[in-house]
Amino acid sequence: MRAERGEPSAGTETVNGPVRDLGATLMHEHVFGLSPEILWNWPDIPEGWDLERRAREAADRLTELKRHGIDSIVDLTVIGLGRYVPAVRRVAELTEVNIVVATGLYTYDALPPYFGNRGPGSLFGGPDRLAEFFVRDITDGIGDTGVRAGILKCASDHLGMTAGCERVFRAVAEAHRATGVPISTHSHSASGGGLEQQRLLAGAGVDLTRVIIGHAGDSTDVAYLEELIAGGSYLGMDRFGIETISSFEDRVAVVAELAGRGHAGRMVLSHDSYCFNDRFDHDVVRRRHPNYHLLHISRDVLPELRRRGVTEEQIRQMLVGNPRDIFARREPY
């Protein structure tokens, strides 16, 4: 039974309510990536958007994922990526897979004008409402859906920690400390961006053991990855299937190497895939990234990790134990 508005719940918040045991969990996926203004104004675009049709397609994919041993996904779609929770809620009604949704804001630079024109340093000044909005999503629910966010998301990329990114990170830190929900980031591994994220979050009072540095698996620099681990954070080895950034061979080799060094307790696995995303040409994506789908880890990655000596206990730690521990700590501080 869902807690009253503003009250903490027992278990991890999912679209269908609190769940005590998420089971095997992919920690960085997306159900839908939408372009609202495009869909509002050119509804006849070839990709098309029919909520019921797309929801059933997504549910079918998740049901197949369940048959491959995955019980839950974390949907890190936030503002800036086309979050539309009513559609995700319909998917959750059609599948047994648990879906945890996120709050936060995705930008590499400027904030959306609603926030960019308000708050410190903006054209009109005034209070920064980002943290207020994030906390509301966590404690009261997103919009009028009643669905509570269970994780916070923020991003920086090749541009580094721009002023807009810093505002989001500081607001995420504030919302995290007020609610206790974990933080997951999008980072740019090629420039060592995860370390910059750790410095900012730590400076804002965040316990880095409650942070996942996303897209760490894009890197083959084991020294960099061990530095992130030494800082306390989990590593998001979460772009399996996107082989133009890092190959299948490199991605599994790095996970196996880190597991061999005793770091299975600091890694989570995922694809960063979408059930439906109108921002890319589907045929081009399929040609360039044939393994970019929800079943790649179950079908291809786990067998290869086993072949390289990663134990069943370590695999279970990455898929079950670490997600459980990440969501178990919900105390504000």
Residues near 315 by beta carbon (within 8 Å), at least 6 away in sequence: 264, 302, 305, 306
Question: Angle CA(318)–CA(319)–CA(325) in degrees, nearest 5?
Answer: 75
Provide the annotated binding site. 28, 30, 153, 186, 215, 272
Strands (E), 51-137: 72-75, 98-104
Under-70 pLDDT residues of the chain? 1-9, 46
Q: What is the mean pLDDT of the chain?
A: 95
Digit-coded pLDDT (tens) for 83-94: 999 999 999 999
Structure tokens at 190: 């090629």
> How is the chain split into domains, by residue range?
12-328
The one-letter amino acid code at 98 reads N
> Hey, is 17 helix, strand or coil?
strand
pLDDT for the residue 122: 85
Digit-coded pLDDT (tens) for 22-66: 999 999 999 999 999 998 898 887 677 899 999 999 999 999 999
pLDDT for the residue 43: 83
pLDDT for the residue 1: 42
d(CA 225, CA 283): 34
Q: What is the CATH number of domain 12-328?
A: 3.20.20.140
Going by the DSSP 8-state scheme, the letter that residue 298 receives in this structure is: I
Bridging pattern class, strands 25-33 and 98-104: unpaired
Digit-coded pLDDT (tens) for 247-269: 999 999 999 999 999 999 999 99
Structure tokens at 283: 């045929």
In the numeric block, the tokens 């179950």 are attached to: 298
Provide the annotated binding site for Zn(2+). 28, 30, 153, 186, 215, 272
pLDDT for the residue 60: 98
pLDDT for the residue 5: 56
Give Cα separations from 130 to 97, 118, 329 (angstroms): 30, 10, 23
pLDDT for the residue 7: 59
Structure tokens at 212: 């996942």
CA nearest to 27, candidates 151, 137, 176, 177: 151
Q: Let me know: does 148 contact 14? Beta carbons within 8 Å.
A: no
